[in-house]
Structure 1
Amino acid sequence: MIKDNKVRKTYVKEALGNRNYLSYRTDLMLLKILVSFVVFIATYFIYLDIILSLLLASLVFFVFTLVNKINVDKKNERGKNMLMKKVKEEYFSSKIEEINQNDFEMLIKLFFNNEGYNNIFKKGRSLYLAEKEGYITCIKIFKLYDGIEVEKLDIRSLLTFMGNSNIRNGFLVTTSSLSEEAAKLIEKFKDRFEITVIDIEGMYSLADKYNMLPDESFYYKRLNEEKVITKNDFKKNVLNIRKVYLYIAASIFFYMSSVWMPENQLVIYISYFFIVLTIINILYFSVTKYNMNKQNSEVKNK
């Protein structure tokens, strides 16, 4: 059984894209604390009432907590849909790679049969004709290895056959992509021939449409992998040059707060903490940039 917290974290990570999960949650927490502290300081200087200041700051803190929870829940749901679709597509693609040419063509015939096409019969090598609503349709199937494209010559042969057979509509089913010249040739003759390309995503959509995929519990098990915070996660979260401005603003704010409230020693230590983070970030990225420039210079000299 997959733990809810781990799955939730995985979904949110997917919704965040390239952004680091730990960094995202830390930023939310830091922003919440800063805003609450600003409200506390402002209220205290206006009304000189510590109780009122604490109440308003607490209210702001809980409002931010609620808003953050709603945003995280939305990202969780969006990430769930994105990740499940990705896992399903990857699984489907791997199964397509495993089956042989004959089984693959049988699968495509099943797709078209489910779509209402009848009298599907083989006309040539990986070439089929089918009938729907009185019209004859041409179906050309390409099961290619990764990296091999459908070439212009393949499209030319298909268009020639359709022209000689007086067929206007056709389907090009391929596990790979079209070369640039092949795509241009289809575009050039689009007024005479209507060619619909069904790629691996289109095949997946058909398989999903007709409930030919495993249920979601199967995919949940594939996601059940232990996630740990690594050294790289720490670097992405804390050692981030884009956060220097945030660290500087936080250190200035907390330092000024210590001036306004000299009796509160905790505030000055928080300020020192952000000052240290700022210095570490600047030093880390300065050294990193220096080393990269040095390596590039050595490569050029060679």
Structure 2
Amino acid sequence: MKLLLSRPSVWVPLLVLLLLASVPLVAQAIGETFYIAFFARIIIYAIAACALNIALGYGGLVSFGHSLFLGLGSYAVGLAAFHGIGSGWVHLLVCLVACGLVGLVTGAISLRTSGIAFIMITLAFAQMGYFLFVSLKAYGGDDGLSIAMGSRFGPFDLSSATNVYIAAFVVLVLSLWWLARLRVAPFGMVIRGARQNLRRVNAAGIPARRYQLLAYVISGMLCGVAGLLLANLNAFASPSTLAWSVSGELIVIVVIGGLGSVFGPLLGALVFLGLEEALKGVTEHWMVIFGPLIVLVALLGKRGIVGLLERFDARAPVNVSTTVPLAENAAIDATSTARKTT
């Protein structure tokens, strides 16, 4: 407990999670249900940022195409509901299969390149998805598609904002727990090592590209789950979800929170969407203020909000599951274990 209290980079995110868990009760008590929908949106974007963090933060894959997976998750609900299918299990299955297959194909093609070429190819795939759904006039085209029924998981129905909030919060907690475990797992250490030195990982006998492709596919599938939740929250699926600007927002959220950190996506989403909502209530020219504030946050800490919190950490034994620094030889340390998994 003493160690926990001496590390703001740990207890602050845990406190945020505790406060988020109380939002539905507090909002119902004060009669302000708007906050349930608002914080549900923050949580959903935090899940999408967690997904991107796997590819970008851990793997160093700067993807401008994750809006494609967010949109696929939304339309997995919208198209199924349009045809009278309300089962959440079917929605989830369609979401995971579609995002998995698309992630496999687009990832295999994109990973043949690197750097700016990788960015542009992922962006191109996202734009292809955008124009595909815009062209589907039978399903609303660029006007989007209303969702008459929420995803039903047995007795649990996602047709209300409160139920969506509960489901999203559970998914977020599980995602954060899994990210923490992934950091120290052989798979996670390989993709983190490949981010630093791809040649060195390959020289150790580990097929780094295969690991990166798997990380990209998993990232896309988790982002699709966020899209599924977003569609239920809005009761609407829109092609705008697939716009490149949404991918840009997710990247900004991850960078603000802290690249490669466990709690960075959560803190980044809270600050990004919280500032946006607060400034919208002050002036219609909120973007003029919002932009410089985001730049300021990024400049204050090279590793985002988590980096800022770590500056206040008291001297304590290093815990690899909560610290972000990445040693270049991480993959080499995991070589013997990773080889057993390949």
**Structure with the higher helix share, 1 or 2:** 2
Which has the bigger relative contact order, CA under 8 A and spacing at least 6?
2
Task: Indicate the TM-score class for this superposition, using the shorter chain for normalisation.
Answer: under 0.3
User: Could you state the TM-score of these two structures normalised by the residue count of structure 2?
Assistant: 0.21
Structure with higher Rg: it is: 1
**Structure with the higher strand share, 1 or 2:** 1
